[in-house]
Structure 1
Amino acid sequence: MAERTEGGGRGDARDAPGYELPLLLFAGFRSLIDQLHAELARQGHPDVRPVHGFAMQAIGRDGATAVAIGRRIGVSKQAAGKTVDRLESLGYAVRTDDPADARRKLIRLTPHGFDALARSAAIFDRLRDEWAETLGRDRVQAMESDLRAVTPPQAFRLDAAGWLGG
């Protein structure tokens, strides 16, 4: 039986209670997201919040309606509309006429929005490299492979904001 270490952890992960796994996964996720946003702020995007990143991913390169954004991030059309309003006020998105349907508006990313996403991708690559330096590249690759093996194929969903919000 492993003994608890001074920090409250356990020396042998096999003895850890099951509830620690999701907490550790969430703590790793939160650590990456917090570091990402601190660096984005330093690089000229101080107002971007995690929900904005999910929404900008949902908007994508081709644009999307508020209904589609809401569905993709797991919130109501009204909540998606409020997020889009905020993205517009910050200069990350703009509403445009939908060429396929004059009754609808498409939300499109601005160059500022695309810049935030490109910087996010580069920052995530750097953060992954930092984890690889700390843990070892093979361990990070194995962790990613193991997580792919235990998660369903549709696991890459953007609706974390709605899921976490209840």
Structure 2
Amino acid sequence: MSATADDRPGFELPLLLLAGFRTLIDELHAELARQGHPHIRPAHGFALQAIGPHGASATEVGRRLGVSKQAAGKTIDRLAELGYAERADDPADGRRKLVRLTPRGMDALGRSAVIFDELRSRWAATLGTGRLADLEDALRTVTGPAGLRVDTVSWFTS
């Protein structure tokens, strides 16, 4: 017998939401590894999003991630070692360095988008398309227009 909403302890809700998030991210990374990206980690995905398709300075990446410029620099260094990002002169300002995604970084982001669509389809098959749409709509209602920000990772460690 299923518990009513009033019988369920409040602490379970954030844990269930986190478990759903973790399940999707773990499945994403397992598939990315199978598709040629075995070294990319969840934090790298947030950093790739923070860099974006047009690039960003290390300061901007840090601000978007909610971490110091130094912490962002370490992540950028790792992404560069793995071939996902590179530092280059900013064509608009020769004094500034720009972090850009490499073709490998763009490939990882593109594959991630496709994999997320496939994972969503699996959830729809399990839950039903209506229930999944209701879940997404309900989460949008309670999270507001901002939704998930890429600085969420730093929030866990702050």
With normalisation by structure 1, the TM-score equals 0.92
Q: 1:118 — aligned with what?
A: 110
Deviating beyond 6 angstroms after TM superposition, the runs of 4 or more aligned structure 1 residues are: none
Q: Secondary structure of 2:149's partner?
A: coil
Return 5+ residue gaps in structure 1 as ranges: 4-9
Q: 2:64 — aligned with what?
A: 72
Q: Secondary structure of 1:156's partner?
A: coil
Query: Pairwise CA RMSD of aligned residues?
Result: 1.1
Amino acid at match of 1:52: H
Higher alpha-carbon Rg: 1
Q: Secondary structure of 2:146's partner?
A: helix
Q: Could you tell me how far 1:79 is from its partner in structure 2?
A: 0.5
Q: 2:93 — aligned with what?
A: 101
Measured against aligned partners, the alpha-carbon deviations of 1:131-152 in whole angstroms (never above 9, x if no partner) come to 1111101000010001111112
Distance between the aligned counterparts of 1:53 and 1:14, measured in 2? 37
For 1:29, which of 4, 14, 21 is the aligned residue?
21
Q: Could you tell me how far 1:11 is from its partner in structure 2?
A: 3.2
Give the percent of matched residue pairs that are identical in Structure 1 and Structure 2: 65
Distance between the aligned counterparts of 1:151 and 1:11, measured in 2? 25
Measured against aligned partners, the alpha-carbon deviations of 1:39-70 in whole angstroms (never above 9, x if no partner) come to 10000000000111000001111000000001
Amino acid at match of 2:32: L
With normalisation by structure 2, the TM-score equals 0.96
Report the count of equivalent residues. Answer: 158
For 1:139, which of 126, 131, 134 is the aligned residue?
131
Q: Is the 8 A contact 1:75 1:161 kept in 2?
A: no
